[in-house]
């Protein structure tokens, strides 16, 4: 599989958040701060989350946006089972899936969410992920991104995180590289923010995606 599996510490930390839901608190505050103006685009819609981990993101999206249903995909089968165990929402389906090789049909989802997942994916497979999301989104569907770039791990706090979390640091994209690739394959940037720890981007599927870009991505 192309997407990196979490190390033992990361799996433990994800499991801990199911018992002490601080990850849900963090995601909820960021969703409220950055995505509230897009809420009507998700109500009663079909949603995909990539890299759902222990299910915190899917639960927040469900309670904040009121979608019709959510498919929460995660590469690591251990985390899929953890998410199922601690999630009671009947309209959320957790399943094992590689974000860089999505198996869903084209034009399936109205919105896709990424809560700090794509930086786990090595180069150039992170580009495959962006392409895959493009294909499964419906026209004018929204892609909500809270993620990290190499700049996030060059701060003092970022260097500390490197000691515990396994990411492809040697080939990790810059935020500019990430943003430019989004535009290259046909997304329109609706929102772009930067903090010292992460970046926030909301894009909309617009122009037809170039098949050549998809193959080269």
- Domain ranges in the chain are 8-99+107-216
Q: What is the pLDDT of residue 14?
A: 55
* C-beta separation of 102 from 75 below 8 A: no
Q: How confident is the prediction for the chain on average, in pLDDT?
A: 88
DSSP label at 89?
Answer: -
Average pLDDT over residues 53-81: 95
**Lookup result for tokens 């090595």:** 122
Mean pLDDT of 19-32: 84
Summarize pLDDT for 32-50 with one digit per residue, the tens. Answer: 999 999 999 999 999 999 9
Nearest to 216 by CA among 176, 173, 184: 184
Distance CA 95, CA 84 (A): 9
With contact defined as beta carbons under 8 Å apart, do 108 and 135 qualify?
Answer: no
Give the pLDDT score at 176. Answer: 97
Residues above pLDDT 90, as percent of the chain: 72
Reported as a single tens digit per residue, the pLDDT across 158-172 is 888 788 877 788 889
CB-CB neighbours of 171 under 10 Å = 12
DSSP H/E element including 188: strand 187-194
Q: What is the pLDDT of residue 23?
A: 84
What is the architecture, at CATH level 2, of domain 8-99+107-216?
3-Layer(aba) Sandwich (3.40)
Q: Which one of 15-24, 153-162, 189-198 scores highest in mean pLDDT? A: 189-198
Quick one: DSSP state of residue 41? G
| pLDDT at position 120 over 50 | yes
Q: Is 166 exposed, middle or buried (0-12, 13-18, 19+ CB in 10 A)?
A: middle
What is the separation of C-alpha 204 from the centre of its chain, rounded to a whole number of angstroms? 15
């Amino acid at each position: 599989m192309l997407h990196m599996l979490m190390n033992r510490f990361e799996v433990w930390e994800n499991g801990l958040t199911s018992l002490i839901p601080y990850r849900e608190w963090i995601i909820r505050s960021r969703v409220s701060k950055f995505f509230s103006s897009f809420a009507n685009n998700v109500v009663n819609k079909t949603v995909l989350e990539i890299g759902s981990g222990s299910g915190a993101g899917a639960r927040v999206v469900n309670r904040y946006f009121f979608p019709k249903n959510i498919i929460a995909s995660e590469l690591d089968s251990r985390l899929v089972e953890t998410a199922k165990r601690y999630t009671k929402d009947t309209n959320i389906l957790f399943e094992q899936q590689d974000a860089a090789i999505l198996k869903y049909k084209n034009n399936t989802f109205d919105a896709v969410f990424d809560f700090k997942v794509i930086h786990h994916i090595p180069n150039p497979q992170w580009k495959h992920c962006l392409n895959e999301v493009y294909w499964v989104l419906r026209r004018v569907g929204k892609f909500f991104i809270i993620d990290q770039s190499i700049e996030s791990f060059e701060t003092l706090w970022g260097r500390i995180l490197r000691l515990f979390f396994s990411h492809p640091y040697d080939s990790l994209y810059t935020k500019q590289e990430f943003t430019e690739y989004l535009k290259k394959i046909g997304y329109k940037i609706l929102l772009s923010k930067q903090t010292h720890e992460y970046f926030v981007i909301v894009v909309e599927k617009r122009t037809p995606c170039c098949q050549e870009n998809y193959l080269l991505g």
